[in-house]
Amino acid sequence: MSDLSITNSINVISILSEGGVFEINPSHTESIYETIECSFSLSGMDTATESVKLINTCGFDHSVDISTQLSDLTNNTLSIDNTIGNSSLANTINISTPLTKNNLQGSIDIAFPQATTKLIDDTLTVYADGIEITTKLKKASLTLFGNNKPMSLNASFSFLNSIPTELLISINDIDYNFTTTSSTSSYKGIEIEAESMATSRKKIISYNYQLATDAVAQFGDIIFAGDQFLSASINGSYSSYKFARKLSEASGNYARQLPSNNLIFNTSKSNPTYEPSNILDWIKVEPKKRYSCVEVIYGKRGDDYITIEPSIRKKKIGGQISLRVYGSLGKTLNTNATSLKALQKSITEEITEDVFFENGIGKLSKPANTTLTEGVTATGKRVVSDSSCQMMAVRYLTTYDLYEITSNIASDMTFCVYLENIAYLLTGETGDVKKLVEESICDHTTAINRAKTFLHSEANKTTLVTTHDNIINTTSGLNIKSKYGTGPLIGASIHIDSNPIKITNKLEVLQWQK
C-alpha cells in the first residue's frame, strides 16, 4: 500500500493558443487537501481568447490561484460574471476562489470578449492664443475630412477668461491649428467652432491646359497622390485647399487637409491598407440607390474657345473650301458637305492685335494658347490685363487645324464644331440618369473616374469607431480592412473626452467587399 500525500500540488504554466480552451481535470480525489496553481500568459496574442476553463474534481478542500498577465497588445476586458472596470487592465490579476467542502466538481470560466477599450497612451495638449488650457477642455471633435470639406473643430470648454482667436490641439506631437469662427456661452461652459488655419492664403491662378501635377506645383503645399489628368483652363484666386478641391471634384479624385498641408488622393486598391486593432463600435449605412447611369459632359464649350475661318464665303457646286478651325482640344466636327478632309493639324500661329479692355477684361479674335504680352493672361478668347489702359496691343500664340470640304449639292453648306464631349457610366440597375458638367477636364478616362466617384456617394458605407492612430494622416489614399468589410477611407474625425482622457477615431469606409 502506498502512502497518500497530505498535500498535492500541480503547477501548470501555459501560453494559450488563439481562441483556445485550456482544461485541467485532476483526478486525485483521495487527497485530503490539494492546491492547483495555474499561471497563463496572453502575451503576444492579437485576438481575444474565447474561454479558459478549469474543472476540478479534488476532494474535501480546494483552492485555485490564477495569475493572468495581460499584455498591451491584447487589450481585453476580463469578465467573471461581470466586467471588472471600464478601462484596460495592464497589470497582473490574481483571482482566488475557494470551493466548498462538499463540492465534488467546481468550475471557473474566464471569457475574454472583443476589446472595448485600450490602455490610454495618447498625449494631449491644448493651447488658446499660446496659453495652455488642456485642463479646461471638456470634449472636442476634430473633423479631418469627408465630402471634400475642410478641416474643422467643435470643442467645449469650462469657462475661459476670454474667447480665443486661435486654438492649437496637439495629439501625439501632431499639431492641429484652428481659427475661431463662432462661440456660444452658457452655464455649462463655452462652445467654440473653428476652421483650419493650414492653408488660408490665396494665390492668383491662370493657365490654359496643364497636367494636374504641374498645376498643383504652383502652390507648394499640395501633395498629389491621385490619378493624373490634364486640367483645362483655370483662372481665379484660390487657397491651396480650394484649388485642390476644385481639381479633385472635377477629376474623380478626393481632396483633404492634413495638419500642415493638403492632399489629392484616389481610392485605389493598391493604396496602403490599415487594419484597426481596436474597434469599439461600428455602423453600416446602406443609402437608397437613385441612379442607374451617370452622364459626364466634359471639356470647354462655346464661342470663347472656337473660331472658324473659311477661305471663301460662297462656293460653286463641286467647288472646294478650306477651313481654319482655331481651338486646342476636344473638338467634334459635323458637316452636310459631300466630303470632309483634314489637311493639317495643330498649326501654331503668332498674332498681335489691338484689344479693348473694360475693367481689365477684353476679348481676342482667336482662342489663345499662350500670351506673350507681359501682364496679360487669357482663357480661350477671354483676356485679362493688370493694366489700366483701355486699348492695348496683345501678342499671343494660337493653334488651328486646316480642313478641306467639298459639296456637290446646291443647298447651303453647314460646318459645325463641338467642344462638348460625353462619357456614360451604367450600373445595370434601374434608376434615374445623373448629368454632370465638368469643364475642367479634357479626356474620357478622367470623365469616367468622375462618374465612378459620384456613384461612390450612393455605395454602402461603414463607420468604425477605433482607438486613435496617427496613420489617418497618411500622405496617400488609405484602405481600411476589418471583419465588417474592406474599402477606401473617405472620411475621418478625432473625438476627445476628458476626465479621464479618451481619444478615438471615427472612420468612414466605402465597402468594396465583405
Contact criterion met (CB below 8 Å) for 435 and 447: no
The SS3 call for residue 135 is helix
For the chain, state the CA radius of gyration: 35
Separation between Cα atoms, residue 42 and residue 24, nearest integer Å: 18
Separation between Cα atoms, residue 212 and residue 228, nearest integer Å: 6
β pairing state of 415-418 and 332-335: antiparallel
Separation between Cα atoms, residue 32 and residue 21, nearest integer Å: 28
pLDDT digits (tens, 9 = 90+) for 245-256: 999 999 999 999
329 versus 501: the higher-pLDDT residue is: 501
Separation between Cα atoms, residue 20 and residue 23, nearest integer Å: 10
Angle value at C-alpha 12, between 6 and 15, nearest 5 degrees: 170
Contact criterion met (CB below 8 Å) for 338 and 277: no
User: What residues form DSSP beta bridges with 69?
Assistant: 41, 92
Burial environment of residue 101 by CB neighbours within 10 A (0 to 12, 13 to 18, 19 or more):
exposed
Residue 264 pLDDT > 50, yes or no?
Answer: yes
Least confident among 103-107, 123-127, 493-497: 103-107
Element (H, E) at 454: helix 444-456
What is the percent of the chain where pLDDT is above 90? 38
Residue 319 vs residues 193, 333, 340, 414, 465: alpha-carbon distances, Å: 72, 20, 13, 14, 74
pLDDT digits (tens, 9 = 90+) for 135-152: 999 999 999 999 888 999
32 versus 480: the higher-pLDDT residue is: 480
What is the percent of the chain where pLDDT is above 70? 68
Separation between Cα atoms, residue 432 and residue 5, nearest integer Å: 84
Separation between Cα atoms, residue 514 and residue 497, nearest integer Å: 32
Least confident among 271-275, 279-283, 317-321, 455-459: 317-321
Most confident among 28-37, 279-288, 496-505 (mean pLDDT): 496-505
Question: Of 270, 266, 176, nearest to 493 (Cα)?
Answer: 176
Dihedral angle sign, alpha carbons of residues 424, 427, 432, 434: negative
CA 148: distance to chain centroid?
A: 8
Question: 500 preceded by cis ω (within 30°)?
Answer: yes
CA 439: distance to chain centroid?
A: 24
Separation between Cα atoms, residue 427 and residue 409, nearest integer Å: 45
Phi, psi of 413 (to 5 degrees): -110, 130
Q: What was the pLDDT predicted at 439?
A: 83
Dihedral angle sign, alpha carbons of residues 151, 157, 160, 162: positive
How is residue 136 written as a grid cell? 479646461
Residue 16 pLDDT > 70, yes or no?
Answer: no
Separation between Cα atoms, residue 352 and residue 364, nearest integer Å: 10
DSSP label of 3:
P
Contact criterion met (CB below 8 Å) for 233 and 419: no
Mean pLDDT rounded to a whole number for the chain: 76
β pairing state of 106-110 and 52-56: antiparallel
pLDDT (mean) for 76-82: 38
Residue for grid cell 486598391? 269
